[in-house]
C-alpha cells in the first residue's frame, strides 16, 4: 500500500485520515510547494487542498483564507533559516538555502520571487522581509546609525533575492551554471563588506579611472 505522504503523477496526495496536526502540516507543505512553483496568484485553494489530499474546507478552518495560509507558509520557511544557527552565520545560511539543489529549504525565496507581482502577496512579503530578514541583517551591521543599518540590510537582501531570481527563475549564465560554493564565496565577501562598512580604495581608484596602482 502506498504511504500517506506519497503523491500520484499529478502531485496529488491520497486522502488523509482526520488528524488536525497532520492536516495542517500537509496543507503547509503543499502550499509551500505550489507558491514556490507558480507563485501566489496562480495558486488556488483547491489546488493546495488537492495536493495535500484533504477537503478545501479544512484549509479555511486552519488558516482562514489563502492570505493567511501564505503568511504562515512563508513565515515557517523564514524562521527555519533565521533561527537554525548563530546570527553571525545568517548570511551563509541564507546563501546555502538559495543555492540548495533540494528545494525544501528555498520555498520562501522562490515564493518571494514569483509572487512580487501580487498586491495581496506583496503586502505580506514586505512585512515579512522588513520584520524578519531586513531586521536580522540590520542587527549585523557595524554601525550605530539605525537608518544606515537598515539601508545596508536592504541592500544585502535585495542582492540575495536578485541572485535567487537570476539563478532559479530566469536561469541566466553564468550564475545558473556556476558552482554554488564559488558564488557563495564571492557574495559573502561583498555582503559582509556592506554590513561592515568597508571599502576597497584600490577598487575605487580603478573605477574612477585613476592611473594609481591596481
- For the chain, give percent helix, strand, coil, nearest 5: 70, 0, 30
**Is 13 part of any domain?**
no
User: What confidence score (pLDDT) does residue 201 get?
Assistant: 40
Angle between helices 146-164 and 90-99 (to 10 degrees): 20
User: What confidence score (pLDDT) does residue 75 get?
Assistant: 72
User: How many structural domains comprise the chain?
Assistant: 1
Q: What is the mean pLDDT of residues 80-97?
A: 83
Q: What is the CATH number of the domain that holds 88?
A: 1.10.357.10
pLDDT at 182 over 50: yes
**Is 100 part of any domain?**
yes
**Is 6 part of any domain?**
no
Q: What is the pTM of this model?
A: 0.66
**Is 12 part of any domain?**
no
Q: How confident is the model at residue 172 (pLDDT cuts 50, 70, 90)?
A: confident
Q: How confident is the model at residue 155 (pLDDT cuts 50, 70, 90)?
A: very high
| Contact predicate 49/58, CB 8 Å | yes
**Is 120 part of any domain?**
yes
**Is 188 part of any domain?**
yes
Residue 106 lies in domain: 20-207
- Of 2, 25, 5, give the one whose Cα is nearest residue 13: 5
**Is 8 part of any domain?**
no
pLDDT digits (tens, 9 = 90+) for 114-135: 676 776 777 777 777 777 888 8
**Is 147 part of any domain?**
yes
Amino acid at each position: 500500500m502506498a504511504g500517506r505522504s506519497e503523491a500520484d503523477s499529478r502531485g496529488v496526495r491520497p486522502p488523509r485520515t482526520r488528524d488536525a496536526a497532520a492536516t495542517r502540516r500537509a496543507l503547509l507543505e503543499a502550499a509551500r510547494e505550489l507558491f514556490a512553483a507558480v507563485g501566489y496568484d496562480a495558486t488556488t485553494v483547491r489546488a493546495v487542498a488537492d495536493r495535500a489530499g484533504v477537503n478545501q474546507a479544512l484549509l479555511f478552518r486552519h488558516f482562514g483564507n489563502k492570505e493567511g495560509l501564505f503568511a504562515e507558509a512563508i513565515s515557517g520557511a523564514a524562521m527555519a533559516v533565521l533561527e537554525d544557527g548563530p546570527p553571525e552565520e545568517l548570511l551563509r545560511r541564507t546563501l546555502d538555502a538559495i543555492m540548495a539543489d533540494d528545494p525544501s529549504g528555498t520555498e520562501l525565496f522562490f515564493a518571494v520571487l514569483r509572487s512580487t507581482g501580487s498586491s495581496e502577496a506583496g503586502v505580506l512579503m514586505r512585512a515579512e522581509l522588513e520584520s524578519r530578514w531586513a531586521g536580522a541583517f540590520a542587527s549585523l551591521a557595524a554601525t550605530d546609525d539605525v537608518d544606515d543599518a537598515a539601508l545596508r540590510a536592504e541592500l544585502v537582501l535585495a542582492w540575495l533575492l536578485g541572485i535567487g531570481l537570476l539563478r532559479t527563475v530566469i536561469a541566466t549564465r553564468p550564475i545558473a551554471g556556476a558552482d554554488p560554493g564559488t558564488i557563495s564565496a564571492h557574495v559573502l565577501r561583498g555582503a559582509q563588506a556592506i554590513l561592515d562598512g568597508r571599502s576597497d580604495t584600490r577598487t575605487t581608484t580603478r573605477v574612477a579611472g585613476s592611473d594609481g596602482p591596481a
